[in-house]
Amino acid sequence: MTTPSLEAVERRRIQMWTVMFLVLVGLSAAVIVASFWTEALPGQIRNFASMPVLRVCLLAVTIAFCVYVYEKERMLRKVTRALVDERVLNAALTNRVTELATLSEVAQAINSVLTTREVLGKILQSALSLLHASGGRIMLIDRERNLLRSVCELSADGSAVDGPDEVALGEGIPGWVAHHRDPILLHRDGADGMFSRLVPPGSPACSAMCVALINRGELLGVLYVSSLDEAQSFTEYDLRALQLFAENAAVAISNARLFEAERAHVTKLQEVDAQRQEFVATVSHELRSPLTSIVGSVRTLRKRGQAMASDQADEFLTVIERQSNRLLQLIDDILFASRIEAGENRLRGEPLEVVRLVDEVVSSFNARDHRRRVCLVAPPHSNSMAAIGDPNGLQQVLTNLVDNALKYAPGDTPVTVSLAEAGDEIAITVSDLGPGIPKADLPHIFERFRQAHGNSGATPGVGLGLYITANLVAGMGGRIWVRSEVNQGTAFTFTLPMRTAPARTGTGSLPPVGASTVRGA
């Protein structure tokens, strides 16, 4: 059965009233005629009309007809009302379908290959068109600066969206929502006066809504929309719809972050892998160099040893010994570096007589080579200087730095080790007047295998020396940095916490600007 249309019902009603009008007119005429002009009627009819029974009958029929028409009208009204209701319902349903379609589009966008920015743009665009909003923005929370930052904004007519791009937590509508996490719907003339409290006086907005973006309990940001048109003020129903958009936006943002984290992880793994390959190539190269000398010297001695002067044979033995030690040192360094990476590098934290330990290292260098002098510069009261650290660690750090300085600086220039107190630390500086380190290399100097990258084998070693040194310093709670000028010289400074001061754990003050640094981890 088909439902009658509103128009058909209306037509029936007009027909009914017309019929009723005609019938009433007819009846009335009959009654009037019967009552007043009975003489004019022919005899038989006159007799019939003058009968009282007929008058009563006519009156009864008229009343019955009126009652019928009244009932009919009541029914028709009911039908009309139902039809109007249905029409309204239909309109609402159509609206819901549009909404669902929009939301499903949004959900599809989240799962598509679009970038986060595109997905957020799509969500915002759908929200604006469905809610007939003038403008809106998605703001994400910046934990470091403790504020909300607009990452995506859109307006219906291309004009600027009301409100600032950045807002502190607790400030304005977005700040309020981020702080309370509750959705908010405000009208300019709202009775609670909240609008005028949260929105700056000059704002063109008439009504505004804002919802927090929350994923698994974590606040990510807010979704804000506003309407500049009084006629398009938002309703509670609109707020519900905006919440659905916000849920989708939160999922999109979380997905994007997960994806970013995953991608960063993969990149990191690729880097590690590339580094490992580079390491194998470098190590194989570094093993081949000393082996060339060792193999060559052994074969030479075997073939020509008899014919050789004894001091020359001795020289070859020295070469073999030196290069074997170099191989051993290389293997030790590699093992040490891998221990550092595995987190097995345990250093003691005991009171150190800094001056005595430093002096031991400097003296051993001076005893080894009488032509090169390493000078020790210490303040007068330095004998009382006491630091916390590992005695072997300190000596290895100093040995590495002095060794480097002697290796790079020309033979006739001095290498100086100086001691100083700096706040609650003791600073030890090793300086040379060598060729210096190019500015571009400074930030990477403490990285693993660094020398091997930049320096195409200018000096022997796999580039582990400074990496190990920096890690030893960090392990003792100190800091290390370098200052260098090309053709002027280089100064490495490392610190150890003073005995009176609590041991540092890497939160020390920043070193001088422009210097490359490694701090305790």
Partner 1 sequence: MRNSRPRVLIVDDEPDILLMLRVNLEAEGYSTLLAGDGETALRRIAEERPDLVLLDVMMPVVDGWGVLERLALMDPRPRVILLTAKASTRDLSKARELGADEYVTKPFDPDALLGTIEKVLRSRPAERDRPSIQPVYLSDEL
Q: Point out which residues bind partner 1 (CB under 8 A).
A: 281, 284-285, 288-289, 291-297, 299-300, 303-304, 307-308, 312, 315-316, 319, 322-323, 455-460
Rank residues 297 and 400 by Cβ distance to partner 1 and give the closer one. 297
Cα separation of 253 and 259, whole Å? 10
Cα–Cα dist 406/252, whole Å? 58
Q: Is the C-alpha dihedral spanning 380, 384, 388, 393 positive or negative?
A: positive
In the complex, the smallest distance separating the C-beta of residue 418 from partner 1, rounded to whole angstroms, is 29
Instruction: Choose among 376, 381, 439, 430: nearest CA to 406.
Output: 430
Nearest-10 crossing angle of helices 116-131, 52-111? 170
Nearer to partner 1, 203 or 323 (CB): 323
Residue whose CB is less far from partner 1, 349 or 454: 454
Report how far apart the first and last C-alpha atoms of the chain are (Å, whole number).
82
* Helix (H) and strand (E) counts in the chain: 12, 14
CB 349, min distance to partner 1, A: 40
Residue 490: CB minimum distance to partner 1, A: 16
Which residue from 290, 297, 294 is spatially nearest to 305, judged by alpha carbons? 297
Nearest to partner 1 of 306, 507 (CB atom): 306
Report the residue number, 331 or 521, with the smaller CB distance to partner 1: 331
Task: Give the separation between CA 9 and CA 16, rounded to whole angstroms.
Answer: 11
Write the DSSP string, 111-180.
Answer: HSS--HHHHHHHHHHHHHHHHT-SEEEEEEEETTTTEEEEEEEEETTSSPPSS-SEEETTSHHHHHHHHH
Q: Find how far residue 415's CA is from the centre of its chain.
A: 48
Please report how close the Cβ of residue 467 comes to partner 1 at its closest, in angstroms.
20
Residues 6+ positions from 231 with CB-CB distance below 8 Å: none
Q: For residue 469, give both structure tokens.
A: 């040194």
Separation between Cα atoms, residue 208 and residue 38, nearest integer Å: 80
The least distance separating partner 1 from the CB of residue 340, rounded to whole angstroms, comes to 26
As measured in angstroms, the least distance from the Cβ of 262 to partner 1 is 34
Which of 240, 322 has the CB closer to partner 1?
322
Among all chains, which residue has been given the structure tokens 């009171």? 351
Nearer to partner 1, 276 or 299 (CB): 299
Nearest distance, CB of residue 336 and partner 1, angstroms: 23
- CB 489 → partner 1: shortest distance, Å? 18
Exposed e or buried b per residue across 437-456, where buried means at least 16 C-beta atoms within 10 angstroms of its C-beta: beeeebeebbbbbbbbeeee
**Alpha-carbon gap, residue 407 to 434, rounded angstroms:** 9
Judged by beta carbon, residue 316 or residue 365, the one nearer partner 1 is 316
Is the Cβ of residue 181 or residue 299 nearer to partner 1 in the bound state? 299
In contact, 520 and 509? CB cutoff 8 Å = no
Taking the least distance from each CB to partner 1, the nearer of 111 and 459 is 459
Strand ranges of the sheet holding 147-155, from the earlier edge strand across to the other edge: 166-168, 147-155, 135-142, 218-227, 207-215, 184-187
Query: CB of 516: closest distance to partner 1 in angstroms?
Result: 22
Shortest Å, Cβ 156 to partner 1? 60
